[in-house]
Amino acid sequence: MSYTIKDVARLADVSIATVSRVLNRSKPVSPEVREKVMKVVDELGYNPNPVARTLIMKESTLIGVLIPDVANTFISMFVRGIEKELIQHGYTTLLCNTNGDTDVELHYLNLLRDKYVDGVILLTSAPKPEQIEFFNKNDVPVIFSSHTDKDGRFSSINIDDYQATYDAAKYLIELGHRSIAFFCGPMDYYQTVRRYDGYKQALADHGITARPEWVFDKDYNLDSGYKSGMELFARVQEDHPTAVCCVSDMIAIGAIRAAEDNGLRVPEDVSVMGFDDIPIAGAYRPKITTVRQPVYELGSGSAQMLLKQIREKGTGSCESRVLPHGIIERESCRALTD
Amino acid sequence: MSYTIKDVARLADVSIATVSRVLNRSKPVSPEVREKVMKVVDELGYNPNPVARTLIMKESTLIGVLIPDVANTFISMFVRGIEKELIQHGYTTLLCNTNGDTDVELHYLNLLRDKYVDGVILLTSAPKPEQIEFFNKNDVPVIFSSHTDKDGRFSSINIDDYQATYDAAKYLIELGHRSIAFFCGPMDYYQTVRRYDGYKQALADHGITARPEWVFDKDYNLDSGYKSGMELFARVQEDHPTAVCCVSDMIAIGAIRAAEDNGLRVPEDVSVMGFDDIPIAGAYRPKITTVRQPVYELGSGSAQMLLKQIREKGTGSCESRVLPHGIIERESCRALTD
DNA sequence: CTGTTAGCGCATTCAC
DNA sequence: GTGAATGCGCTAACAG
């Protein structure tokens, strides 16, 4: 059993209000009394019950983090960035895996609000209607990560998805490729749409018409990349693209394996471009050329922005940060010289 | 602003006590009244404030999960297993990255207790003295994962670390290898010690003397594996081991890269054995032969055991589960034929 | 500056 | 069966 504020008050021979005051510096207290109280606090190793505090203050030093799936390296690194930043400011991370499911997200959002979380970080691509409604009526600080909000209704932090994919495709094109497949995520993710747009625009800007049968929208994981690759390389054995542009490194690895299983060498026969730059990208064989996302900065940046928003609560100011991406040239893409 | 129990009571024209009773089924309530109350509850979409509830009940439907680092694939998969199981039972996951630091762990433990978490899952190898003291005086249900407790003081779930490494080394030996390096984690982890013991014993049982200069105790990540590999292969260019036994797949990948950077081919010149069997192990080139851990089962199993313990609180029963491991033969190890 | 009191939202004892 | 009153541990008026 822990001590309560009453124990401290009794032992220090003051009222509980005074104890509360010295602990929260909410009202001036005479040095002598403060000294006396602190002494008892230290001796007892007393610390205020955060639950009771939450009940009154409607603050919990808890931050909800909604993500599709921790068991995805990019995401777990992102979470790491968040957590590291939060803990330094005395906040604790409430982790919620949503699988990208809107109902699950909404369920968690309600749960988190009921637990009086001080804020929420959402990795869910675009704000969905249900979420907009939720945040409109609930007024809990939120950062949308991996999303850039044009409308400025919500704060967000992200790279420029459109530009990043544009750059990736352009890189491939400048290497001489003209038939480029696209392995992306589910098309109902706004992020996917943005990236797809970037890819298409890069092709268009170079006079290349995109071939719909060469875009595969599955998941972000290795398996999806492999499956897409098997479909692509199996069905167009003689007429396959010379490059594939992927929206995650794990997809790229799956694609490479699929190519190899179809007798194609990477990068000799087909170039494969990754995305994210997770640690394995630089250690795979071939080392994967990829679009780097500053994942830790994205994570810690989300946390910082959220904390700032919590501090400035009420002003309702919105901020939108776009972090730089970059092409990391390695071995999985080669120049076409014919 | 959400509704409170008072709103429901007023609208249903009953006392708050009655509302509480129908919601918690704690005392019999007449069918008519129950009906009446439930109608209002549904209309309002009322749900009880979990914080107020926690303050009284000393229960939070929160589970603390202490891990060294989410940004490690094995661990994030483990967390995924936990979270999936917990959410099905209405619990939420409080994630804490400790870096394996004892002070941080203890800090979190206190924080979690103050938040009235219903239980804790610890991924910290052996119970440390500070932790034993904590759980002795605090009586919060706990599961030690990645640890098997001989003394039966705490519940635990794990594979047999000793046997798993023994099997890995034995596998290498039976392939004809007699000079086998060992890339392990920090020696102050009990898990490392157990695994090291298994490795040594396997060698000993086959008449091989372990060479201390061939064991490298760093971290579980790719970088550590690479560094260990560079040290090993650089300094013993002519006298290098024919195999290296690693305690994680990421270490194995690092080791492979280091070997290759020193002009050694895997598995032709040196065999490398992984551990964990994370997704990349089967997709790397060469595909990594490894010791499989049933990571999701470890995660969901931890959660199940903890939930059971919470249900049976007071009986103070301890349970120790050991899940099976297995050798997954792939391409990174070859038989020595000379 | 300090103490007394009310109340956050709920579960629960005690009367009826 | 049901309602009134008490208190979980704390903060924030309100007095003095």
Can you tell me the distance from the alpha carbon of A171 to that of A327, in angstroms, rounded to the nearest whole number? 8
Task: Count A/B contacts: CB-CB distance under 8 Å.
Answer: 118
Judgement on whether residues A111 and A169 belong to the same structural domain of the protein: no
Domain membership of residue A337 (yes or no) is no
Domain membership of residue A334 (yes or no) is no
Judgement on whether residues A230 and A256 belong to the same structural domain of the protein: yes
Q: Which tokens hold the place of B140?
A: 């919060």
Judgement on whether residues A186 and A248 belong to the same structural domain of the protein: yes
Chain D positions with an atom below 7 A of a protein C-beta are 1-5, 7-13
- Percent above pLDDT 70 for chain A: 98
The predicted structure's pLDDT at residue A239: 78
Domain membership of residue A336 (yes or no) is no
Comparing CB atoms, the residue among A80, A254, A260 nearest residue B71 is A80
Indicate the residue among A275, A292, A309 that finishes a domain: A292
Domain membership of residue A284 (yes or no) is yes
Domain membership of residue B336 (yes or no) is no
Distance A24 CA to D11 C1' (A): 10
Dihedral sign, CA of A263, A266, A268, A273?
Answer: positive
Q: Is 90 exceeded by the pLDDT of residue A268?
A: yes
The predicted structure's pLDDT at residue A1: 66
At residue A2 the predicted structure's pLDDT band, cuts being 50, 70 and 90, is confident
Judgement on whether residues A182 and A305 belong to the same structural domain of the protein: no
The predicted structure's pLDDT at residue A320: 92
Domain membership of residue A335 (yes or no) is no
Q: Is 70 exceeded by the pLDDT of residue A338?
A: no
Judgement on whether residues A154 and A303 belong to the same structural domain of the protein: yes
Name the residue in chain B with its Cα closest to that of A112: B92
Distance B54 CA to D3 C1' (A): 24
Overall number of domains in chain A = 3
How far is Cα of residue A47 from the mean position of the Cα atoms in its chain? 33
CA closest to C1 C1', residue: A29
The predicted structure's pLDDT at residue B74: 97
Residues of chain B with pLDDT under 50: none
Cβ atoms A279, A63 nearer than 8 A = no
pLDDT digits (tens, 9 = 90+) for A60-98: 999 999 999 999 999 999 999 999 999 999 999 999 999
Q: Please report, for the domain that includes residue A261, its CATH number.
A: 3.40.50.2300
Judgement on whether residues A316 and A242 belong to the same structural domain of the protein: no
Per the structure, the residues numbered 41 to 70 in protein chain A that have their CB within 7 angstroms of any atom of strand C are: 52, 55-56
- Helices A249-261 and A222-235: crossing angle, nearest 10°? 40
Q: What are phi and psi of A225, to 5 degrees?
A: -60, -40
Contact call for B60 and A72, based on CB within 8 A: no
- Best A51, A73, A221, A223 member to test B by mutation, with max B CBs in 10 Å, is A51
Name the residue in chain A with its Cα closest to that of B296: A71
Q: DSSP secondary structure string, B146-162? A: S---TT-SSEEEEE-HH
pLDDT digits (tens, 9 = 90+) for A146-173: 877 677 789 999 999 999 999 999 999 9
Judgement on whether residues B308 and B198 belong to the same structural domain of the protein: no
Judgement on whether residues B71 and B142 belong to the same structural domain of the protein: yes
Domain membership of residue B55 (yes or no) is no
At residue A256 the predicted structure's pLDDT band, cuts being 50, 70 and 90, is very high
Q: Please report, for the domain that includes residue A44, its CATH number.
A: 1.10.260.40
pLDDT digits (tens, 9 = 90+) for A192-251: 999 999 999 999 999 999 999 999 999 999 999 999 999 999 875 667 899 999 999 999
Judgement on whether residues A284 and A313 belong to the same structural domain of the protein: no
Mean pLDDT on A275-297: 97
Q: Helix, strand, or coil here: B223?
A: helix
Judgement on whether residues A300 and A191 belong to the same structural domain of the protein: no
Can you tell me the distance from the alpha carbon of B295 to that of B281, in angstroms, rounded to the nearest whole number? 14
A257 touches chain B (CB under 8 A): yes
Judgement on whether residues A172 and A259 belong to the same structural domain of the protein: yes
Question: Which domain does A202 fall in, by range?
Answer: 161-292
Judgement on whether residues A247 and A305 belong to the same structural domain of the protein: no
Q: Which tokens hold the place of B239?
A: 């006298």
Contact call for A222 and B279, based on CB within 8 A: yes
For residue B237, CA distances in Å to A144, A279, B160, B230, B240 come to: 52, 27, 34, 10, 6
Please state whether strand C lies within 7 Å of residue A30 at its CB atom.
yes
Name the residue in chain B with its Cα closest to that of A4: B114
